[in-house]
Structure 1
Amino acid sequence: MIGLPEGITACLFDLDGVLTSTAAVHQRAWKATFDAFLRDRTDGDTSEFTLQDYAAHVDGRPRADGVRAFLESRGIHLPEGAPDDPPDAETVNGVGNHKNVDLLRIIDEQGVQSYPASVRYLTAARDAGLRIGVVTSSANGEHVLEVADLARFVEARVDGLTIGELGLRGKPAPNSFLEGAKRLGVRPEQAAVFEDALAGVRAGRDGAFGYVVGVDRADQAQALRDNGADIVVAELDELLGDA
């Protein structure tokens, strides 16, 4: 009926890039932050932050993990600092907090758009009686769901704040998705994971979830398959056509 195997009773959706177009907003915020940071450096590779950098090091990961992974790829090492570091602090947390300032500014200026095809799929999943959860590395998950008018579909949410509070390992580790399944009261094999990020697809595979749907927003269909997607679609409502 909704393009999922028999025995799947719950759906765990990533947010940015799967349900909403905020993945592009995140990429712009990361670029603004990293380009400004790199302009003042004399160590490591200080060339501009690229879309390839975003996909390889940042997309789908908790904020501090993304900062750490990208800077390490450029040969730059910063102290960790503290979660409440100001956005101008030259620490991992400071750079991450600077990105969040840029992100919220862009959201306030431009708003948040949900993908119409994803809303159609959410509606079909809810009408079919499936449990629905959102698992996102973003600390702004609740705000984005409200702004995009998607909170009405969601029974359980695991976001960047949850990950920090519980001390979970972020994607590509499966811990956040496992927590989402737990909150919906289902076993991993009863849940389908929907992800556009390579790190998120790996998390779904490594968590032994019943089905992993890769959403190709960045022309990386084969990479999504290689990282564990059982099926790759351009839009979620393609699954309805296959039902």
Structure 2
Amino acid sequence: MLGLPEHVTACLFDLDGVLTPTAVIHNKAWTRTFDDFLRGRDGQRPFDPVEDYNDYVDGKPREAGVRDFLASRGITLPEGTPDDPPDAQTVSGLGNRKNELLLTLIKEGLEPYPGSVRYLQAAAKAGLRRAVVSSSANTLQVITSTGLDRYLEVRVDGSTVKKRGLRGKPAPDTFLAAAQELGVTPQQAAVFEDAISGVAAGKAGGFGFVVGVDRIGAGHAEDLRAAGADVVVADLDALLED
């Protein structure tokens, strides 16, 4: 009924783009941050919200996204410190600028995907364990403001990554930590991801099933399959039809 193999007893959900449309506002925040930064730099084209977003920042911890995108343009900045102001020309400063813009967009209103809510409700009814796994430090704010916290038993997020020294996606550390907290083995858990780095993390961790979520189209489904997704759907409730 849930489109999963029988051996799966737990679901590990990414947040942005899987449970909530925060991927859209993350994209807007990244685009504005990098476009402002690149403006005036000779020979630098604007940030591409499809290719640059998918290749360099989607699903990654904030500072890693900054580093990887800047490296793709041949730009190196000082690391700075976590409390750098958002106008600082450092990796941390750019990351803080992006987060400042993101929080503004979240406050303007955010609703979870209805299909994802239906799937969470069905998973809870079926007795499957449920966790949210995200690199975002704003995960708690998002799940509580959208009411998703009532369906989720465990949260592993950007704060957890810093506290425990976990590697971010595409390393499997965060998913492995969530599975451990739920008391299941990786083989007993399904990973739900819309980012290539997240699907790669699910594959690298030896998880029992990896669901790719393709909400953007434009060939992204093929990229998710190539990264290791066992199945790709446009919305989670499509799995309820199986």
TM-score (normalised: structure 2):
0.97
CA distance in structure 2 between the partners assigned to 1:3 and 1:128 by the alignment: 12
Q: Does 1:118 align with 2:137?
A: no
1:142 equivalent among 114, 122, 140 = 140
Q: Output the amino acid matched with 2:33.
A: T
Q: Output the amino acid matched with 2:110.
A: V
Question: Per-residue deviation at 1:41?
Answer: 3.3
1:127 equivalent among 125, 136, 143 = 125
Deviations 1:178-233 (A, max 9, x none): 11111111111110000000000000000000000000012111110000000000
Moved more, 45-54 or 97-106: 45-54
Give 5+ residue unaligned stretches, structure 1.
Answer: none
| Pairing of 1:1-243 with structure 2 (within 5 A) | 1-42=1-42, 45-51=43-49, 52-109=51-108, 111-219=109-217, 220-242=220-242
Q: Output the amino acid matched with 2:100.
A: V
**What SS is found at the alignment partner of 2:23?**
helix
CA distance in structure 1 between the partners assigned to 2:87 and 2:41 by the alignment: 14
CA distance in structure 1 between the partners assigned to 2:41 and 2:155 by the alignment: 38
CA distance in structure 2 between the partners assigned to 1:40 and 1:100 by the alignment: 23
CA distance in structure 2 between the partners assigned to 1:40 and 1:9 by the alignment: 52
**What SS is found at the alignment partner of 1:237?**
helix
Deviations 1:144-173 (A, max 9, x none): 001111000110001111111111110011
Q: Output the amino acid matched with 1:24.
A: V
CA distance in structure 2 between the partners assigned to 1:41 and 1:106 by the alignment: 27
Q: Output the amino acid matched with 2:119.
A: Y
Q: Identity of counterpart residues, as a percentage? A: 62
Runs of 4+ in 1 over 4 A off after TM superposition: none
Contact 1:22 1:113 in 2 (8 A): no
CA distance in structure 2 between the partners assigned to 1:241 and 1:106 by the alignment: 33
The number of residue pairs the alignment matches comes to 239
When the two chains are superposed, the root-mean-square deviation of aligned CA atoms in Å is 0.9
**What SS is found at the alignment partner of 1:54?**
helix
